[in-house]
A and B are shown apart, each in its own frame.
Chain A
């Protein structure tokens, strides 16, 4: 078979590392650099005890961020993560109080989260409600329900094994971090080795094309939101195990933390691009930053400020990076108005 390689000058220029790999290496490299920097500058940062605490904190945000990554890959957002986490925490405590084994209570919590996720998915896929609005609505419902159930007060009633699961570690590696890695591995396998991953990314990349070639777009959307709810449920139960209490608002900061982890991990808010483990690294990075600020005695308010700014900057960088490409394309084609 005669085979003439297609080698336009442009193609030659574009050779080298595959963009996905280069992107991944960049993020990993940056993470190592930041770690070394923090270790050098911040006293006590690099101690094993500190690392263990940091990883446990990062793990919870990472689990929530993993589910959220799927939603963002489809081009949407899930703001209900924090509300689901609060609600599931309370439900878990209530179930355990009613005599349900703690591990079963955690599973029930995940299913509760999945139910909320499916509702989000149906709103987005069938009613075509913008995702930030639909999930903002369910955020209100879940956060409100959490307040109502808890009657505004945190509740404490947990078996010792569950608290041990939330706070214990083997060889300085917290159980929660192991849980997060397991979730990452399972999700990475499902996304990488089944149709689901391709469907998810193509739905977010170009929904029109995806529908045209026969990708089950609606089912994919519902699956993404359901997974996000499921993992938010797991994260909520894990948080309760870690804190050994369930407060009606303890999940609230995690909406922002999960979005921040994804955004810092380079997941494209416009959909189609982003990797699961980079989102996890993003969660670790943010936890490290917070931890370092804590060690340096920075006020918690300032930490919120830094997180808020970081999100805007990270999104701005990804967007303006894309903006540059669009400017180039704009030379070829008339600019299209972008409706946000």
Chain B
């Protein structure tokens, strides 16, 4: 054994000189991390600029507000699924959580339950559904796409059974109507709800121990467990967050159309939500995703939808465009990981 004291491979500045240089390194690190989100914002800006040039009626104040209003429900649901994606899972059940929550809410309100109580019940039921998916996935060791696909069909069936497959009109004049149509200082309520959700999601992810747990578990489940992090709580909890936020989103949609719709969402709905999260830079390999990115991703998706409507192209093209988007996002992600040697 050679005994010459070796030099460390990564040489570092002598410990005295921490200060200006270390700070600048820190900022460089922070900025390099923000690059994907900044890139997305630039992309959105370019999209809006292009749309303003080429799409008639696009650059019109009320249309822009409209885009934000339409983005609200997608932002909320996509933030939910981001938590599942962060731990390397997937939630295919979202689409039928929409229809199911909508039907349950309408039935309760129709039956005379006070709206706040009805909302609470809907959220609680969604949380239970999420917990079941999470528990089957984590403790049953069943792949997440199977449990949540199964849950998709189960909730879909429940929604059909409760509603007999028919839309249920809400009684007029409930506070749900105000929720959907009202504004505060000219800002639509739904936009405020979405913004509030985003702020809370950001706080949870970046400023709470639970958020740290989620990221750590997503990056390395084994090391997290051996460090004493509550892996089960994370693995089940993220599915509950996903289902509850999907339910919040469904409540907003129900308020907008003023009826309980069993067909709200569907697999297309699931698809849209996951696309928003992925376009927003959430890694499908786990561990990486930002609230800002997901918010921008959802707005991008809705902007494209808005343009398709304004250009009077068949709205049916929408889903294909989303499919292409998700694949592009995937390829970008895979290539980036490959460069880092991260996959496998």
Contacts and interface: CB of A to CB of B under 8 A. Distances in A.
Would A and B touch once assembled, by the CB under 8 A criterion? Answer: yes
Interface of A: 77, 79, 123, 127-130, 132-134, 136-145, 147-148, 150-152, 248, 252, 256, 259, 263, 269, 299-305, 307-309, 311-312, 315-316, 319-320, 323, 337-340
5 contacts: A133-B330, A140-B326, A259-B149, A301-B158, A301-B165
A128 B221 contact: no
Nearest to A310: B150
A152 B316 contact: yes
Given A140-B322, A252-B267, A259-B146, 4 more contacts: A132-B143, A143-B267, A340-B141, A340-B142
A339 to B, nearest CB: 6
Interface in B165-179: 165
A303 B344 CA distance: 39
- Residue among B143, B156, B323, B330 with most chain A CB within 10 A: B323
Give the dominant DSSP class at A's interface.
helix
B161 A301 contact: yes
A323 B154 CA distance: 25
Contact of A311 (B88, B92, B150, B221): B150
A248 B136 CA distance: 33
A144 B320 contact: yes
Given A136-B274, A316-B142, A128 B330 contact: no
Given A130-B284, A315-B146, A316-B140, A147 B316 contact: yes
B221 A339 contact: yes
B321 interface: yes
Contacts of A316: 136, 140, 142
A316 B142 CA distance: 7
A308 B221 contact: no
Contacts of B222: 337
Given A140-B271, A319-B141, A308 B152 contact: yes
A129 B154 contact: no
B152 A144 contact: no
A145 B156 contact: no
B316 A138 contact: no
A137 B278 CA distance: 11
Contacts of A136: 90, 92, 145, 271, 274, 326
B317 interface: yes
B180 interface: no
A137 B327 contact: yes
Contacts of A123: 327, 330-331
A134 B317 CA distance: 20
Interchain residue pairs A-B with the least CB separation, the first 4: A144-B319, A141-B323, A308-B153, A140-B323
Contacts of B154: 304-305, 308-309
Contacts of A138: 323, 327
Contacts of A140: 271, 275, 319-320, 322-323, 326
